Amino acid sequence: MGIRATATEATARRHRRVPAGLAASAGVVVALVAVAPVYLLVRASEATSSSWDLILRGRTIALTVNTLGLAGAVTAAATALGVTAAWIAVRSDIPARRVWATAFALPLVFPSYVGAFALLAALGPRGLLQGWLEPLGVDRLPDIGGFPGAFLALTLFTYPYVYLVAASALRGVDPTWDEAARTLGRSRWYAFRTVTLPLLRPALAGGSLLVALYVLHDFGAVSLMRFQTFTQAIFLQYKAAFDRTPAAILSLLLVALAIVVVAFEQRARGRARYHRTGAGSGRAPGPVRLGRWRWPALVFSGVVVGVALVLPAGVLLYLLVQGLAEGVPFNLTVGAIGGSAFVSSLGAVGTVAAAVPLAILSARHSGSVGRAAEGAAYVGYALPGLVVALAFVFLTAGTVPWLYQSLPLVVLAYVVLFLPQAVEPLRSGLLQVNPRIEEAGRTLGRTRGQVVRRIVLPALARPALAGAALVCLTAMKELPATILLRPTGFETLATRVWTSASAGLYSRAAVPALLLIAVASLPLWALAGRLGAPEDGR
Amino acid sequence: MRRRVPLVATLLLFSLVLAACSDDPTTDATGSPGSDETPSPAEAGGTITIYSGRDEEFVGTLFDDFTAATGIEADVRYGDSAELAAQILEEGDGSPADVFFAQDAGSLGAIAEAGLFAELPQEVLDRVEPRFRSDDGLWVGTSGRGRVLVYNVDAVSEDELPGSIFDLTDPSWKGRIGLPPTNSSFQAQVAAMIETEGADATREWLEGIMANEPVFYEDNGATTRAVGAGEIDAGLVNHYYKYEVEAEDGELPIANHYFSPGDPGSFINTAGVGILASAPNADGAQAFVDHLTGEPGQTFVAEDSWEYPVAPGYEPSVDIIPLEDFQGPDIDLSALGARLPEALQLLAEVGMI
């Protein structure tokens, strides 16, 4: 009976017609995202045999191996770190749990170029650590550049994506299921592995996907750590050869790579249902006593927070103090703080609004339409910001001068660049709502609009805020699109960091970098403060 | 539910209150660039839009001086030279920019080649040494930036210092040198080497350097700091990084070594400026180029920077060697752009990038 019900429901889901309003709004969003690939096709079509030569003779295969290898390794490590941290922060009785819950998420505030720079300054062959070890006879440390450095930097500064979605999903898991397994005599680990972990699968798949595609488009960490990926090769074409055609071809290959990764994730995620069918216990899970595992848990948490948060913040403070000692003039416009807050908030609101139709399509229409809608969201996210920015330059500079180099255009670029960060939480949130509740609403004579207002939207409030906070944070760190598309004179903290760092003035860059981290902590605090066991068992 | 109110309040406060401190950007935001809202000095000469690939930290005051001297307002858009070049290429005739002020000849060459620069008056071009201007008169240099070998004085003795960059392939330099392979200044130097010595000799040099197991850095600043820290003994960088880094980090045990005149090691690139053919305010743009290449701009370079003035008669303020003695290989900087893809290819083939 149960099996048959599931089968018919799955069929119903696949064949349900897409409402016209939903289709239209999703269409608008997809058209916006399509700006980037269309631009790339235009540029790539100008290819002469010599530019193809460059691509083919070049190291495309080596780049593919490097890029996928880095993405795979970082995703695996970030997922392991993120899930462990989430379990500790949500389910364990570790001392000062709420502090850990926030601290685990905070590394997200470091732009990867700042984080990678700090790691190099601290752990480089003659970095700060070596300076401390010098009295012990340590002349130099091994170079962390190349794969190890890129892997370390990207893992440390992206695992919070997994942590945040995993922690949020862990809170939503009905503890009675886990308890059922335990009363049947299974071990805690067995219960976690066979009950909790599978329930986390859609959230984990989504979080891991955000990490994997982040690695594809990241330039800051790979360039500082000198590891060759597609994005690094694309920047090299723009910056060294001033040739947009090979850059476009490489970018299209990157999009293809992203599509493969997304398809892989969609397969891995499976088609199972994740909502409960009964009333459930409605209880928040109580904390699990760590017992003799308390010390390993504390060491793990301390090391992660130490390397990913305390170390980079410490390096920035060190630079600041060093600059003050040398009498470096620090000038800071207050406008940059407001600029960051304003444009990233607008970006968050715009991106969440654009994400809603795609998330509904993806969660409620599991056929090819749903998959395509979700896939479309990832096209811009996988591309370097510079490429998306140039696409908007190409599209608007000559044709709509009033829109060109304005805040609305920056926001549109943010939507294209960060869409999945809002789509993923919304989609996971929708999957936890039983569609039969919506059907019941309709059966009880409510219009579709009423059902959406009374059932769907309230259920989406929390994931929407989570998505908005994620986008807000990421937008605050964004650089190339902001620089190219901003109104003249508009400054953000990220552009201030860039202004000083590009001139090699690292201590001067430390002030806006520290402020950026402080401002970015606000949405994160709002987000993470809610994660660590809100009711504390009450 | 209970907790949503404070959260929403936080987010709202966050976006609204903080946005309120930024009255500047938000009011600017709605108008399109170069909007017709004219501030008072604009009556003298309007506003020009400058795309500046030069860092605000170094040239910001130069733009203020320009406005003070001419009454022309400067709307400056800062960015990376190469990224701004890509932006101008995408904008085409629709570019709001009047002038492009770039870090290097390569970025200027890309715009010149696309036919987006207007020709400059001969009078302006004649102000600078011929090696610092475009042959077609499409852009003009504003300051010179030479390549040197920066070395750690505790690790390298003076008689060890090579006369030619080719001597760095000697096994005695094994494990001792650093360079920034993805940096455009280094890549321009390799392009210059291809131009004067040919592709085969350049490849041989690159392979020789690779055999000496060089250490790679992100940019000139990082390379210079690594030399200062004793991580490596010597590095290939631009001549002024020693002074920039020391201004930030304090005195370091480093010195610049200049290769022999005519050697590819002594390659000098130039920062420069060009006027867009589509410039909305061509007169204002002209005044800006005038300012940069004339007395005010060149005095600024001589006194407030560590780069070389490109017009004769200005003495640099620090102990850099006189420009007459800094003679790089005899090449046309505007031809360099055509060599850059080749340089990139070679760098890739030897495994540097």
pLDDT digits (tens, 9 = 90+) for B57-105: 888 899 999 999 999 999 999 999 999 999 999 999 999 999 999 999 9
Which residues from A are below 8 Å from B249, CB to CB? 322, 326
Q: State the DSSP code for B274.
A: E
Which residues from A are below 8 Å from B214, CB to CB? none
Sequence-distant (6+) residues with CB within 8 A of A343 are A407, A410, A411, A414, A475, A482, A486, A490, A492
More confident residue, A198 or B46: B46
Mutation target to probe the A interface, by most A beta carbons within 10 A, among B16, B30, B32 is B32
Output the average pLDDT for chain B: 86
Chain A contact for B276 (CB, 8 A cutoff): no
Q: How many CB atoms lie within 10 A of CB B261?
A: 12
Which residues from B are below 8 Å from A238, CB to CB? 82-83, 86
Tell me the one-letter amino acid at A391.
Answer: A
Please indicate whether, in this complex, the C-beta atoms of B33 and A487 are within 8 angstroms of each other: yes
Contact B216, B186 (CB under 8 A): no
Chain B contact for A339 (CB, 8 A cutoff): yes
Most trustworthy range by pLDDT among A137-141, A367-371, A425-429, B28-32: A425-429
Comparing CB atoms, the residue among A232, A468, A484 nearest residue B87 is A484
Contact B194, B155 (CB under 8 A): no
For the stretch A308-320, pLDDT in tens is 999 999 999 998 8
* C-alpha–C-alpha distance, residues A125 and A116, integer Å: 14
pLDDT over 70 for what percent of chain A? Answer: 88
* C-alpha–C-alpha distance, residues A454 and A226, integer Å: 52
Comparing CB atoms, the residue among B25, B230, B353 nearest residue A236 is B353
Q: Which helix (H) or strand (E) holds B271?
A: strand B268-275
Which residues from B are below 8 Å from A236, CB to CB? 182, 344, 353
Nearest chain A alpha carbon to B226: A126
Would you say residue A535 has pLDDT above 50?
Answer: no
Q: If contacts are CB pairs under 8 Å, which of residues 8-67 in chain A contact chain B? A: 54, 57-59
pLDDT given for residue A16 in this prediction: 60
Please indicate whether, in this complex, the C-beta atoms of B229 and A126 are within 8 angstroms of each other: yes
Output the average pLDDT for chain A: 84
The pLDDT of B17-33, averaged and rounded, is 40
* C-alpha–C-alpha distance, residues B129 and B143, integer Å: 11
Chain B contact for A532 (CB, 8 A cutoff): no
Chain A contact for B5 (CB, 8 A cutoff): no
Would you say residue A288 has pLDDT above 80?
Answer: no
Q: pLDDT-derived band of residue A140, with 50, 70 and 90 as boundaries? A: confident
Please indicate whether, in this complex, the C-beta atoms of A335 and B216 are within 8 angstroms of each other: no
Phi, psi (degrees; rounded to nearest 5) at A390 = -65, -35
Chain B contact for A138 (CB, 8 A cutoff): no
Q: What is the dihedral of CA A518, A124, A319, B319, to 10 degrees?
A: -140
* C-alpha–C-alpha distance, residues A285 and A300, integer Å: 23
Which residues from A are below 8 Å from B341, CB to CB? 54, 241, 243
Comparing CB atoms, the residue among A404, A465, A491 nearest residue B32 is A404
Would you say residue A348 has pLDDT above 70?
Answer: yes
Q: If contacts are CB pairs under 8 Å, which of residues 422-481 in chain A contact chain B? A: 461-462, 465, 468-469, 480
**Checking phi first, is residue B213 left (phi over 0); if not, alpha (psi -120 to 50) or beta?**
left
Q: pLDDT-derived band of residue A501, with 50, 70 and 90 as boundaries? A: confident
Sequence-distant (6+) residues with CB within 8 A of A260 are none
Give Dmax (Cα) for chain A. Answer: 80
